[in-house]
Amino acid sequence: MTVLSIRMIGDPVLRTPAAEVTEYGPDLARLVQNMVETMHSVRGAGLAAPQVGVGLRVFTYAVDGEEGHVINPRLTASGGLQADDQEGCLSVPGIGFPLPRADEVLLKGFSVTGEPVQLNATGMLARCFQHETDHLDGRLYIDRLAGEDRRSAMRAIRNGRYSDVTLDTVSKRSGNVGSAFGMKVSLPGSQGAGA
């Protein structure tokens, strides 16, 4: 398995709606395995394929002891809004804001082998599913912010040096870092996996 490079805000792949998966097989299984490894290496709660440069409707998650993946997810909100729970994103590192989300969702999709999956989620897991599904639709959580939170987020992004963050993140990963295109890159002086 390979730790993939995470794309940062400003990368067009994060703003492009992902395509439906049409072929199930070893390439898809490898992508999911690599996404799981990448998500764990950065201590993420979830990771969508566009975040690693792959424009497919796939995401992985690991929240409160629940771990898995969903291919071609369809999300239905079925609960009230959560109030002021903090949200952040691996593709917009270093900032987080309170964002109301539905407290309960129903997620339907497929496993990596093409078997139907149906998951009911509440709380943090429901938030994760909504966040990752937004990624698949070309949206970031900051797009949902309003008022002073939105202004603060935009200021932080304008003042941020995300190309530096990307290089710093890569340099902290293990010596064999994979790109989103399946190539291995050996980085001199690389340290252990970073968060």
How far apart are the C-alpha atoms of 139 and 142, rounded to whole Å?
Answer: 8
Task: Kindly state the tokens that stand for 179.
Answer: 């790109």
Q: Which of 20, 23, 87, 132 is flagged as catalytic?
A: 132
Give one DSSP letter per residue of 159-187, joined into a string. H--HHHHHHHHHHHS-SEEE-TTS-EEEP
Say how far apart CA 74 and CA 154 lie, in whole Å: 29
Judged on CB neighbours under 10 Å (0-12, 13-18, 19+), 84 is exposed
Cβ–Cβ under 8 Å, residues 73 and 105? no
Rounded to whole angstroms, the Cα distance separating 166 from 87 reads 20
* Distance in angstroms (rounded) separating the CA atoms of residues 112 and 142: 29
67: Cβ contacts below 8 Å, ≥ 6 apart: 36, 60, 61
Amino acid identity of residue 142, one-letter, is I
148 is catalytic: no
- Catalytic sites, residue numbers: 132
